């Protein structure tokens, strides 16, 4: 559990083999593009060059359906000309393409000038020359395809041997290498890797026509193959097969208001949707009003809004080992240190997440390291760092947490999810629902989902486990913006107790 005291990331000594792109070429291309942009009148320019490697293996029941390796390179140049952004991205990495990119980016800046009524303003940016390499055990791209296929088929066999009629399983891996350069002199070279195991066990009762599923609870992580091997996926698949079967015969949830204990395997998504997105400044400013939405949180609520109970402290970071948004510098070139801040402290709203060009719009002097572009060829926008619920500083075990729950429900694993565009009204499903009766875990239930309103829900937080129960979860694919970009992000928490939460029966 590292959220309690995220340590600053230092530029580490790299080994040349950690980077695939040629260093001299990157610097040459940056010099060509950024010099040309400034000579053409741009007041600022930045450049991202990168290579992304991906691997995806998918198996269903007895067969491997897909094994795909992907490798893509590209660049994206952003220029600021007369107060207007212009952006151009392409896949070829050679001096001619970069020079052409400068012209196209400048053309785009000129094209939007007629509707740029408020010039883009930038804060003072510090200059960094650095390299950062994510610490990793075993590189997943070095593992033979046969080993990955064997693992997937073993997961499936395990689930089917233990009660599932069907099972599908996948492993995703991604490695991002990025070189950032700007016209102020920053030159930052970074690489990080992430992996995501997944499976779904399905049990069918043909007589009744009902079927149930139980999804993998092992989270995606910024990690290597050693994480996959240590995750106990085959054993978890066996439990999933049993639990999918058990859900078929479980008692239906009786819809009512309950005290709900939420496991980190479910709570991460609630944190993501209700806190992560509601505190993004671009949404608050209306920049996402046409698609991802705005927010119920307003600038006037800084240091005023009672977001949740005293137990609620939410921190941002880019430093948690194994977390998906951990990196040395964001896509505006800001250090990870900038992204260490509290979003909510003891229940009070404290900070927005910001990218370059936003802070001054709410009277602040600088942004806080929350920019990301999902490809070198896309415009960097405000995206979440890791955002986590701090564990209870007082000692509290899971048994302690549920001990004073008379009639409650324990929710494990993320299910179907939905939230309104201002991040107020939400409804989340789960993988497993259990009764809590008189302080003890009881029977498995089926067909549950919980519904709530964001601040009402977080103000009902009345119990929280300590750091010994902290767990980091997350996703590869948080979607935002037009055109849609997807971002990896992690959220950590300990099991938490919320009072009087509306629980639905989804089969009613």
To 5 degrees, how large is the angle CA 203–CA 205–CA 211?
50
Write out the binding residues for other proteins, residues 417-446 only, by CB under 8 A: 417-425, 427, 429
Contact between 107 and other proteins by CB under 8 A: the answer reads: yes
Contact between 482 and other proteins by CB under 8 A: the answer reads: yes
Of 14-22, 116-124, 324-332, 466-474, the window that binds other proteins (rule: CB under 8 A) is 116-124
> Considering beta carbons, is residue 13 or 482 the nearer one to other proteins?
482
- Per-residue binder mask for other proteins (CB under 8 A), 363-402, x = binder: --------------xxx-x---------------------
Residues 6+ apart with CB under 8 A from 7: 319
> Considering beta carbons, is residue 19 or 426 the nearer one to other proteins?
426
Write out the binding residues for other proteins, residues 207-236 only, by CB under 8 A: 207, 209-211
CA distance 411 to 432: 6
Write out the binding residues for other proteins, residues 232-291 only, by CB under 8 A: 285-287, 289-291
Contact between 142 and other proteins by CB under 8 A: the answer reads: no
Least distance from other proteins to the Cβ atom of residue 88, Å: 5
Least distance from other proteins to the Cβ atom of residue 390, Å: 27
CA distance 79 to 102: 8
**How buried is 142 (Cβ within 10 angstroms: 0-12 exposed, 13-18 middle, 19+ buried)?**
exposed
SS (H, E, C) 76-106: EEEEEECCEEEEEEECCCCHHHHHHHHHHHH
Least distance from other proteins to the Cβ atom of residue 90, Å: 4
Tokens 């070279």, residue? 189
Contact between 306 and other proteins by CB under 8 A: the answer reads: no
In angstroms, the Cα distances linking 11 to 17, 105, 137, 289, 431 are 16, 31, 18, 37, 40
Site size with other proteins, rule: CB under 8 A:
87
Among 5, 22, 28, 112, binds other proteins (CB under 8 A): 112
In angstroms, the Cα distances linking 9 to 6, 317, 318, 340, 397 are 9, 11, 8, 11, 31
Least distance from other proteins to the Cβ atom of residue 437, Å: 26
Least distance from other proteins to the Cβ atom of residue 56, Å: 9
Contact between 507 and other proteins by CB under 8 A: the answer reads: yes
List, in sequence order, every residue forming a beta bridge with 260; answer none if it has no partner.
409, 498
- Local structure of residue 293 (DSSP, 8 states): -
Least distance from other proteins to the Cβ atom of residue 82, Å: 12
> Considering beta carbons, is residue 138 or 204 the nearer one to other proteins?
204
Least distance from other proteins to the Cβ atom of residue 453, Å: 7
* Contact (CB, 8 A) for 99 and 36: yes
Write out the binding residues for other proteins, residues 154-173 only, by CB under 8 A: 165-166
């Amino acid at each position: 559990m590292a959220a309690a005291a995220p340590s600053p990331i230092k530029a580490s000594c790299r080994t040349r083999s950690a980077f695939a792109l040629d260093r001299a070429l990157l610097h040459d291309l940056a010099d060509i593009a950024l010099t040309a942009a400034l000579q053409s009148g741009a007041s600022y320019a930045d450049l991202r060059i990168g290579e992304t490697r991906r691997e995806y293996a998918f198996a269903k029941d007895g067969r491997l359906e897909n094994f795909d390796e992907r490798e893509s390179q590209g660049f994206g140049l952003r220029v600021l000309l007369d107060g207007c952004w212009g952006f151009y991205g392409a896949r070829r990495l050679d001096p001619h393409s970069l020079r052409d990119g400068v012209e196209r980016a400048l053309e785009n800046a000129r094209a939007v000038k007629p509707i740029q009524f408020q010039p883009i303003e930038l804060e003072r940016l510090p200059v960094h020359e650095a390299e950062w390499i994510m610490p990793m055990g075993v590189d997943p791209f070095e593992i033979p395809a046969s080993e990955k296929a064997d693992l997937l088929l073993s997961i499936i066999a395990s689930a089917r041997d233990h009660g599932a009629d069907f099972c599908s399983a996948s492993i995703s891996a991604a490695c991002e290498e990025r070189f950032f350069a700007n016209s102020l002199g920053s030159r930052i070279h970074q690489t990080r890797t992430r992996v995501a195991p997944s499976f779904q066990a399905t049990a069918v009762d043909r007589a009744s026509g009902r079927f149930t599923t139980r999804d993998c609870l092992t989270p995606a992580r910024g990690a290597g193959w050693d994480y996959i091997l240590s995750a106990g996926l085959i054993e978890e698949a066996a439990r999933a097969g049993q639990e999918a079967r058990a859900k078929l015969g479980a008692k239906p949830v009786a819809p009512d208001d309950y005290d709900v204990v939420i496991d980190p395997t479910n709570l991460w998504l609630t944190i993501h949707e209700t806190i992560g997105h509601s505190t993004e400044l671009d949404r608050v400013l209306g920049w996402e009003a046409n698609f991802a939405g705005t927010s119920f949180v307003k600038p006037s609520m800084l240091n005023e809004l009672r977001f949740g109970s005293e137990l609620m402290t939410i921190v941002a970071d880019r430093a948690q080992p194994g977390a998906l948004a951990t990196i040395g510098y964001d896509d505006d070139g800001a250090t990870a240190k900038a992204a260490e801040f509290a979003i909510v402290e003891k229940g009070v709203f404290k900070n927005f997440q910001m990218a370059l060009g936003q802070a001054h719009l709410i009277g602040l002097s600088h942004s806080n390291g929350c920019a990301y572009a999902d490809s070198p060829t896309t415009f960097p926008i405000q995206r979440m760092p890791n955002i986590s619920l701090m564990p209870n500083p007082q000692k509290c075990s899971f048994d302690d947490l549920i001990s004073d729950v008379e009639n409650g429900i324990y929710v494990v694993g993320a299910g179907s999810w939905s939230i309104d565009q201002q991040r107020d009204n939400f409804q989340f499903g789960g993988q497993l629902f259990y009764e809590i009766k008189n302080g003890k875990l009881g029977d498995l239930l089926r067909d549950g989902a919980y519904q709530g309103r964001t601040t009402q829900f977080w103000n009902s937080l009345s119990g929280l486990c300590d750091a010994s129960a902290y767990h980091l979860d997350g996703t590869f694919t948080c979607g935002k913006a037009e055109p849609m970009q997807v971002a990896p992000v992690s959220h950590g928490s300990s099991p938490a107790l919320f009072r009087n939460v509306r629980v639905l029966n989804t089969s009613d």
